[in-house]
Amino acid sequence: MAPLKWWETATIYQIYPRSFQDSNGDGIGDLPGITSRLDYIANLGVDAIWISPFFKSPQKDFGYDVSDYCDINPEYGTLADFDEMIAKAHELGLKLMIDIVPAHCSDQHAWFQESRQSRDNPKADWFHWVDPLDDGSAPTNWLSFFGGRAWSWEPRRQQYYLHNFLASQPNLNHANPAVRDALTDVARFWFDRGVDGFRLDAVHTINADEAPYQDNKPNLNFVPGPMPQDQQPFFRQLHDSAQLNQPAIQQFSEAFRAVADSYEGDKFLMGELHGDDPILASQTFTAPGRLHATYNFNLLEWGGLSVAGLKEAITKAIGAFNETGRLTFAFSNHDVPRVATRQLAPLGLTEDQQEAMQLLLLKLEISLIGSTCIFQGEELACADIQDIPIDQMQDPWGIEFAPIFLGRDTCRTPMVWDSKAPQGGFSDANQTWLPVAEAHKKRAGLEEAGRDGSVYQDLAAFLAWRKTQPAMMTANQMTEVTGGETELVFDRISETQTLRCRFDFENLTASFEEI
């Protein structure tokens, strides 16, 4: 059996840079701040870090609206700061991944600024420009993820342009090969600086549609749900099989893979992918010669999952990908409420059981095949912060739909490092970009790293033990998930070891037995 690549078993620590560590007292986290905390991450025993966008951006969607893919937003630092950070990470044995946004950019990007000027400039067709209907209205009834129409009017061209998210995030036209070439140039820029891989944001929203654009049909069985897109009966399904198999979209995946394969060191491409049929979508994007793995949403259910729900979600994901490393699991990230909070209600637990629940979930996801992403603060069992005053909210999604839907600020509050320091040791500023959560001060990172029995220390011990287990590290094979109403049981199997993994949600414990 061939040795596995590093990413096939990696535990990856996700950093939301705006909220990790402020080094210059402006209330916003930055790259030098991350560098100063890399020892904390390395001592946890993870294999890699993934940093959410820090590129030049007007920050209307906090970095997911890129105005220059090859430069650093000044509030995060400089390219020299990046080079120092990656050098320190590699010195500590950490791989470093960054977050590329391939489906859209900012309306402040030079590409869009040129494209919007006329219908005949060199970048005229780098975005989706469509004539209005005869009555002047938008070409289709499509709605955006963030509310309102997915089309905005540009008077200079007398046309509408498409945006899946904010109007300031125009969709790139992936039917144009020049767009693909520009993005692969971005990949080379960062690989040349030593980056070990990319997390490709929202690849299911890459768009290569061409006229005629079709209206969504009304859903006669529509019932409003908890998420904003569940409250929009004409919401466009961007991720059906026909969409995902458009040649231009998968040509992008193949071109990015070819660039990654041209570098030494097993570069890793992980695509964030959500959809009505996530298994089919993952199979499409990770077909030979495309992305290495997809970031799986099966465990990221907004309202949490019961034990039966966990069993079903894992079974569905594993069924199609057993004996491969083509899946990346996560329970929390920068877009959903923290799992320590999400999993309390459906399982009938109290807040007193928060630490045990968080550790159990971390051990569960790390024991599955493929790679795992841990969101900053999970190693501290941080809860979601759902009492941020509306006038202090920053997330455009939450601002649009509050108070019915609070958006993503609730999981993005700054890290607390020192319970006794001003702003919890995150910043010297009088005011931080989001308020520091008082509830997190009892879970300060530096203090928990030194406290016997903390989630941080127990997770570090588990990760160290895992690296000694052939069933976990030399093969991506597991059996069907079984167990009673309150447990999940499966075996991890390699040529030299079978390890029975049991997760007890009644007593909130995990056990591992070699059989």
Q: Does the annotation mark 351 as catalytic? A: no
Per-residue HEC secondary structure of 169-212 comes to CCEEECCCHHHHHHHHHHHHHHHHCCCCEEEECCHHHCECCCCC
387 burial level (CB within 10 Å; 0-12, 13-18, 19+): exposed
Spatial separation of the C-alpha atoms in residues 468 and 346, rounded to whole Å: 34
Q: Are 151 and 162 in contact (CB under 8 A)?
A: yes
CA 428 to each of CA 73, 89, 269, 407, 436: distance values in angstroms, whole numbers, following the listed order: 20, 25, 36, 27, 12
Spatial separation of the C-alpha atoms in residues 312 and 306, rounded to whole Å: 10
Spatial separation of the C-alpha atoms in residues 448 and 462, rounded to whole Å: 16
For residue 468, the Cα-to-chain-centroid distance in whole angstroms is 28
Spatial separation of the C-alpha atoms in residues 233 and 256, rounded to whole Å: 35
CA 396 to each of CA 47, 171, 400: distance values in angstroms, whole numbers, following the listed order: 33, 18, 6
Q: Does the annotation mark 272 as catalytic? A: yes
Query: Which of these is catalytic: 201, 378, 379, 447?
Result: 201
Spatial separation of the C-alpha atoms in residues 515 and 305, rounded to whole Å: 30
Spatial separation of the C-alpha atoms in residues 227 and 81, rounded to whole Å: 38
Q: SS3 of 232, please? A: coil
Measured in residues, the chain has a length of: 515
219 burial level (CB within 10 Å; 0-12, 13-18, 19+): exposed
In sequence order, what DSSP letters do the residues of 86-144 get, joined into one string?
HHHHHHTT-EEEEEE--SB--TTSHHHHHHTT-SSSTTTTSB-EEPPPTTS--SS--B-
Those residues whose C-beta lies under 8 Å from the C-beta of residue 382, and which sit 6 or more positions away, are: 338, 340, 437, 440, 443
Query: Which of these is catalytic: 47, 196, 272, 379?
Result: 272
Would you name the residues annotated as active-site residues? 201, 272
